[in-house]
Chains A and B, each alone.
Chain A
Amino acid sequence: MSEEEKPKSPAEANGPEGAAEASERSAESAVEALSTEAAPASGPAAAPEAAPEAPVRRKETDEEKAARRKAALEAREAAKAAAAQAAAKPAPAAGGDAPAADAPPPPPPSPNQPRLDRAVQLLRERVAEDAVLEASINEPNGHLPTIVVKPERWYACAQLFRTHPELGINYLRNVAGVDHETHMEVVYHLLSMDSGHVYAVKVRTDRERPSVPSVTPIWPTANWNEREIYDLLGIDFPGHPDLRRIMMPDDWVGHPLRKDYAPLDPEV
């Protein structure tokens, strides 16, 4: 699940955690990343509290986290809908028109936002209008631009990534398959060696008959990676030159890394 641009709540809205300046901050800010508009339950009323001792603060963190996560879930749905429409536009830099007590001001735009927009724009122009489903920046991961692409368009998108001079992705770092219970996903991490730019592309497919076009003709690195994903998760890769099991024995039944995998023979 990629992170949207999250507002960095100002210190006041954090309550007791924002009061001190210890390295707790970095732990908090990652959790902050989940909540968007929702101010924590304690809110500014707790701001004037003096910083409590370390163990007490940690216990509050857990409770805060739970409350914040719930609020974050609702806020994230709303933000996702808004961001999907405005994927090409950067978030407003300033403009906390709401008072600090109600909603924290929106975050500064990520430094990679222009690059993400350009990539999305190129994909939309050169491949298809509906190729890109979502585009976001994964902030904890060094502001990694993350793009979700439709499986039917993935091969053309990959070709664009490879050949377009601005993107110039010549190195496929990692191909990973993930089994979310409702769908399956293949995540590609791309690198352009000349410019050092990284992108992450996700392709979602359904669980019944998962299938993602293979990019082995474009980046030969994907060959064994896709075989491993086929072996362990069961995602089919049409276009792959030699799709067969690589880790498990050739006559194995089932795909072990799936969440609902039950071994045929529990003793093995």
Chain B
Amino acid sequence: MIRTEELLLNVGPQHPSTHGVFRIIVKLDGEIITEATPVMGYLHRGTEKLAENLNYTQIIPYTDRMDYVSAMTNNYVLVHAVEKMMGLEVPERAEFLRLIVMELQRVASHLVWWGTYLLDIGALSPFLYAFNDRERILQLFNELCGARLTYNYMRVGGVKWDAPEGWIDKVKDFVRSMYGRLEEYDDLVSGNEIFLSRIKGIGAYDAETAIAYGLSGANLRSTGVKWDLRKNEPYSLYDRFEFDVPVGQNGDCYDRYLVRMAEIRQSLRILEQALEQFPEGGETMGKVPRVIRPPAGEIYVRIESPRGEIGCYIVSKGKAEPYRLKFRRPSFVNLQILPKLLVGESMTNLVTILGGIDIVLGEVDC
């Protein structure tokens, strides 16, 4: 007599494919998952609690470390929130620099996602291709602000560094060459039969579910909902540029893949336009009071980070430190759908689905 029983498998915190220290407790019946419980908090560093004792300029390095793959957007959300609360104006050159840097960051972040996603699925070489291109972006950032990952670049009222000599031309060269590289990536991966059979139809959900679960970013757009904060609730200078919002249909991993690849193309398009319209001269810092003390009140701003909608909620009591600073992290909210998607799936698809959601643990835990 064969007796079957349920197996409790621990996709443990140390795992090469969980994109960080993340644990999933999976109940298996053979190879089919019957229940999945995510456990997180291994990277919880208490940013929100620490922020209650720091003034806003000191919090900016901490925001870098939340979503470390896409640090510029984190910087921006905090700085934008404080500027909105205080009603500060940012000079145009600074705003252009911010936008260029954020779009470059979006390309870099999607490249990391692409490389690691394919690595999880089993294709080893696209990882290095992606990181080669990302290295060029990081070199550009290194020349601009002195760091490759945790930039600490934006300040309340502007940016810290101006673009050095020749930097804009280097970015233009990069954008031009990146178009060709994207073609290569498509040739390399997007037509591959093994890849398609592993990705198509996996982890599908519909638009209703996506909206109910509060998904954002490519996860939401892959179901057909055309919602991009750069277009629907424009911030910074995005309303000056022309770009499309790629939308999928089925809400499965393949559509998420296509949406993100198309987003890289659209980011390159925005970059081209922004570099053309880049102002000749201008300040990099606006008129900012000596001590940054927003008036009492509260504010919630949100921007489109590569992972989705990142929001910053600040309650201020008129002091130099925030009374309560909360970040609405896209990876945290997007990850809620994981237990639902995994039920009934084969164990082999766990990593595919998890990678398709595109999480960064620094953001999930904050």
Contact = CB atoms under 8 A, between A and B. Distances in A.
A236 B32 CA distance: 35
Contact of A34 (B211, B296, B298): B296
Interface string B344-366: 00000000000000000000010
A3 B297 contact: yes
A256 interface: yes
B88 A220 contact: no
A224 B300 contact: no
A193 interface: yes
A138 B324 contact: no
B212 A219 contact: yes
A26 B336 contact: no
A1 B295 CA distance: 11
Contact of B211 (A2, A140, A170): A170
B262 to A, nearest CB: 21
B48 A257 contact: yes
Interface in A14-73: 22-24, 26-27, 29-31, 33-34, 54, 58, 61-62, 65, 69
B170 interface: no
B40 A246 contact: yes
B249 to A, nearest CB: 18
Nearest to A30: B87
Central interface residue in B212, B290, B294, B309, by most chain A CB within 10 Å:
B212
A223 B336 contact: yes
B87 A221 contact: no
Contact of A173 (B48, B214, B315): B214
Interface stretch (B124-132, B195-203, B325-333): B325-333
B225 interface: yes
Contacts of B298: 1-2, 138, 141, 187
A141 B296 contact: no
Nearest to A142: B84
Interface string B228-256: 00001100000000000000000000000
A99 interface: no
A181 B27 CA distance: 43
Contacts of A172: 214
Given A140-B84, A140-B85, A174 B287 contact: no
Contacts of B88: 23, 26-27
A76 to B, nearest CB: 9
Contacts of A91: none
Interface of A: 1-3, 22-24, 26-27, 29-31, 33-34, 54, 58, 61-62, 65, 69, 138, 140-142, 144, 170-174, 176-179, 187, 189, 193, 196, 200, 219-221, 223-225, 228, 232, 245-249, 256-257
B300 A189 contact: yes
A129 B177 CA distance: 64
B164 interface: no
Contacts, number: 129
A12 to B, nearest CB: 20
A32 to B, nearest CB: 9
B41 interface: yes
Interface of B: 40-41, 44, 46, 48-49, 84-89, 211-214, 225, 227, 232-233, 286-287, 289-290, 293-302, 309, 311, 313, 315, 318, 323-324, 326, 328, 332-333, 335-336, 365
A31 B296 CA distance: 9
B86 A219 contact: no
A30 B295 contact: yes
A126 to B, nearest CB: 22
A200 B301 CA distance: 12
B41 A246 contact: yes
Given A1-B297, A27-B289, A58-B290, A221 B333 contact: yes
Contacts of A225: 333
B299 A221 contact: no
A224 B336 contact: yes
A267 B87 CA distance: 42
13 contacts: A23-B89, A26-B86, A58-B289, A138-B298, A141-B300, A174-B313, A178-B324, A219-B214, A221-B336, A224-B336, A245-B41, A256-B49, A257-B48
A187 B300 CA distance: 10
Contacts of B332: 224, 228
Contacts of A31: 295
Contacts of B299: 138, 140-141
B87 A248 contact: no
Nearest to B89: A23
Contact of B295 (A22, A34, A58): A34
A69 B86 contact: no
A23 B285 CA distance: 12
B297 A221 contact: no
A69 to B, nearest CB: 7
Contacts of A224: 332-333, 335-336
